Amino acid sequence: MSFELTGKCSRTKARTGIVSTPHGKFRTPVFMPVGTRGTVKAMSPAELTELGAEIILGNTYHLFLKPGMEIMSLAGGLHKFAAWDKPILTDSGGFQVFSLAGLRKIKKDGVEFSSHIDGTRFFLGPVESIKIQRTLGSDIVMAFDECTPYPCTFEEALKSLEITTRWEKISREQLLDPGQMMFGIVQGSVYKELREKSASELVSIGFDGYAIGGLSVGEPSADMMRCIDWTVPVLPEDQPRYLMGVGLPRQIAEAVSRGIDMFDCVIPTRLARHGTAFASDGSTIAIKAGRCAKDFSPIDENCTCYACRNFSRAYIRHLLNVGEILGVRLLSIHNLHFYINLMRRIREAIGAGSLPELIESLSPE
């Protein structure tokens, strides 16, 4: 793996770069569509490629449960199984320690889960997580961590961070396949002392890149940005920085201006499944609303995606209202096109020194 810085913004901390992996390169800043169970919902790999996606995400916890590692091994790894020949990043399952809190028990060496599918008990810790990610064959492997809820006290965040740091150190000690790289994950809730402590300790361990986790879990956007401001100066300049699970268009652009390179979020496809589309300024449009029933204009007049070139709001609303899967697919295509195109606009703005103006043009949350 290599990360090459290709440019810096003259007015912010934003930068552009290229990450090289065994399955190809991707440009940063980048948005990674989320394919939790081995697919980006409602999308084919060919459609993602046409949209310009250069890397996607998979999830260790969910793929471990179904289809399971025996099938994944027989298939030759996630790339072959999912017919995706570009880079893949896999989450470690650490987020599920947070999101499935009612189904797990934290122990010294990992987490004992009750499967959300059938209640079967299994153990997932740093050793198991990295072994699963080796079987998946992802290009970027995430260290195993614990994500704190919001709000939590300083003492709760400190206790969680101590667990996370131990787990991430064990993760780093595990064997990876040639070409795989591992990112550490900075935690510490919304506390400056803990964020800096976490980042410093992870840099001492030494990873191929660094993620900022534990955000977009209910905290105000201003707190999110403060955590980024505290963390980025501690991280190496010559390695990628990844803000996990974020987010809304303006949040992404603001984070880029603070030095973040990589993003993922379920928002584009999740909102599509609920009948919501993004406009070119980052605001949202409720396509299922009654006002769209006789609106024969495209989702967004400024968009050139397949959905906007060929179909009207009225038609897509009709599809959604009668339960036709094409409606969800068209909105997914549109929303992912918007996000991937937003990253292109951001990269261009970094080069032109106009990122602050782009940020101001995006709808506030």
What tokens were used for 69? 């590692």
Contacts of 263 (CB under 8 A, 6+ apart): 29, 30, 31, 32, 242, 243, 246, 247, 252, 255
Gap between the Cα atoms of 268 and 334, Å rounded: 9
> Would you give the end-to-end CA distance of the chain in angstroms?
35
Contact criterion met (CB below 8 Å) for 143 and 183: yes
- CA 26, 250, 345, 358 torsion: positive or negative? negative
The one catalytic residue in 139, 145, 208, 264 is 264
Gap between the Cα atoms of 223 and 303, Å rounded: 32
Contact criterion met (CB below 8 Å) for 355 and 259: no
Nearest 10 degrees: Cα torsion 26, 341, 40, 4: 10
Catalytic residue at 139? no
The one catalytic residue in 85, 91, 139, 208 is 91
Element (H, E) at 21: strand 15-21
- Residue 35: what are its φ and ψ, rounded to 5°? -120, 65
Gap between the Cα atoms of 129 and 140, Å rounded: 13
Catalytic residue at 295? no
Q: Where are the alpha helices (DSSP H) in the chain?
A: 45-51, 60-65, 69-75, 78-82, 94-99, 126-136, 154-173, 192-205, 221-231, 249-257, 267-273, 306-310, 313-321, 325-352, 355-361
Nearest 10 degrees: Cα torsion 6, 12, 13, 17: -20
Q: Which residues are catalytic?
A: 91, 264
